[in-house]
Structure 1
Amino acid sequence: MFEQVMTRLHEVMIVLYAISILLYFIDYLHQNQKANRFAFWILAIVWVLQTIFLFLYMIRTGRFPVLTIFEGLYFYAWVLITLSLGMNRLLRMDFTVFFTNILGFIIMAIHTFAPIQMQSDAMAERLVSELLFIHITMAIFSYGAFSLSFVFSLLYMIQYKLLKEKKWGQRLWRLSDLSKLEKMSYVLNLIGVPMLLLSLILGLQWAFIKIEGVQLYDPKIIGSFVLLIIYSVFLYQRIRKEMYGKSLALLNIAAFLIVLINFFLISRLSSFHFWNS
């Protein structure tokens, strides 16, 4: 019973941690204080849950939880979250806070979903299946964000064409203005990129646990990281190079074609994509 409760608690913490990282990513790119505050308090909830677990574990075992590699990983993740909260509150080091949380998320995912720490084989197998479920869900949500972003870019190009050709009709007025279409396209990619990154972290974790002799040059792995790089370039061009308008919309449309190739074609070439799992 204790093991099941701790497993559910860990899974809740993983989801909350992912939401916190997403908000920190938005704050890192836009100095959004509202996102920073929400991220801080969500991460604080994770820290409280972790601290409660540490005390419960110490009461149950009668010792400090650092004597095994998995106990050490958990304590390491707790330390990283503690440092992240401290830096966020006392110092203005957005870059450091964001990447500290990425590292903490990786460590926590390794600890949570490593089946070797489970006393029951059935529980270990169930945990690995849930890891795959979370990975797939986050990947599909990121793909959904990229898809909607593509739609907004496509509408932008249609609106741009109608305005350039001075076709003042009902279709023109039913479409939103160019600035709003561009902003929505950007915001959706801003959400999709960190979700895809976290999904890849969990996906690699699942692959190393479940698949013997996993190959890092598998087409699905390479394709997913190429996709992450392409959309990161989109954000870089938008924020640092201040690319706007038609050029950015065309880049986003081209990036979505890579999403389709990765989802429908490369998945068929992969040795472990989820349809075969």
Structure 2
Amino acid sequence: MHYLSVQEVKEMCYNSTYHFKEYILDQKEVFPYNVQVLFDMAKEGRIRNESINGFVRKNTSRLHILSKEANLLTNTSEGFPIKIPKFPHFRTAEHLFQCIKLDQAKGDEIIEKQLLIIDQTSGEGAKLMGDRKDDMRMFWRSAWVMKDWEMRDLPTNQYKEKHWVAVTEMVNALWYALLMKLGNNRKEFGKVLLKNGAVKQSPIVEISLDQRQPDTFWGTKVEPNGMLRGMNLAGKLLSRLRDLYRLELLQKKGSFNLLIVTPPFSIQIIGGDIQSVDYNE
């Protein structure tokens, strides 16, 4: 399953800086998503980068199309449903990820909370529902509670081993959701992955949607000079998935190890345990 060890997560958890030498569509060296944030900031005069600003000026009529294409990488993107035998369908990978956050050991009310998430008609809605601290946080797994409370303002160089274990659980939960997205939509999502920097193994970068309080754990902040800075763990996982998928394609084995998906830990959805699924079949 290529799940990450604590040591591998430690090696991944560093702030990265991504910059655009030339923001030209066919010469990109960085492949960002949630790019509407970058485009909007450029239109508002908040970016001091002539390459980006010039691109936005010349492509005004196409920006929404480019944003839509890039956003197919997001967990919230529509069109990549996840089907698990004997369980409800998940409209997006975000629906599944938010359900995983909830700890089945915290009582039968978890089923009701998971159904609320599953019933959301969009990935954004599922994220908003799962992230609600007033009535959801008490049901989160301890890793998410620790990240939100004890680790909120703690720099990584002060993490203790328990903190790294928590981060590793969160990272592997997202990795599982991405594997399930690929497993259920190999041709469609596989094509999206390969279109985003596969040849040169270029970085995929998540731009945080909220630049007032940017999430630099999963994504990045847009700097005034147009550079993107953050740990970008979601982008790094997508890059990793793309590269492993491309490697398996080149090996031409006829089946894919990536498509045999086993949960990284015990996961219950509406009271039932999710088992290993082989999406090669």
Q: Please say whether Structure 1 and Structure 2 have the same fold, judged by a TM-score greater than 0.5.
A: no
Q: Give the alignment's TM-score, normalised by structure 1.
A: 0.27
Of Structure 1 and Structure 2, the greater helix share is in 1
Rg bigger for which structure?
A: 1
Structure ranking higher in strand proportion:
2
